[in-house]
Amino acid sequence: MVGIIMGSQSDLRVMEAAAEFLDQVQVPYEINIVSAHRTPHRMIDYAEGARKRGIRVIIAGAGGAAHLPGMVASLTTLPVIGVPVKSSNSIDGWDSVLSILQMPGGIPVATVALDGALNAGILAAQILGTTDPVVADRLEKYKSTLKDRVMRSAEELRRGDRDVD
């Protein structure tokens, strides 16, 4: 259902968070390396064939110039979520953020925070949850655990336990 792609193996340390969340809510995904610059024909094949493979949302992570999310979005009508990755060749991550965020009109890419693959996984599941009640229910349970964690921490703080998360 979800395609997770990244520009290079080094991006996997960030992109694994999306895969782990999708595992948690039991949403199937594929994960692959597809470089916009080093393998442009592979990128085109991936983007143009994604729908036929059953992909409904694409999460694309990239560092540096970060062209992968936008180029994939230009080749498909599927929603694309861009994850800017702070890489060894980036300018503190800002080049990646701005490259993904500043897409021209007509080619939208939903963009999450720098190294924000977890939120990309959550957003992909939320998109799928608009038409899949099972996924929506799993997301409700996940959000409930977030609320419970905050309420527990607030109660611990109220009791004077300053070592809360």
d(CA 129, CA 115): 23
Contact assessment for residue 83 and residue 112, using Cβ atoms and an 8 Å cutoff = yes
Is 158 annotated among the ligand-binding residues?
A: no
d(CA 106, CA 73): 10
**Tokens 């009791």 -> residue:** 159
Is 8 annotated among the ligand-binding residues?
A: yes
Is 88 annotated among the ligand-binding residues?
A: no
**In degrees rounded to 5, what are phi and psi of residue 59?**
-105, 120
Q: Among candidates 17, 10, 8, 18, which has minimal Cα distance to 42?
A: 8
Mutual angle of helices 117-129 and 12-24, in 10-degree steps: 40
Residue positions forming the annotated binding site: 8, 11, 38
Binding residue ranges for substrate: 8, 11, 38
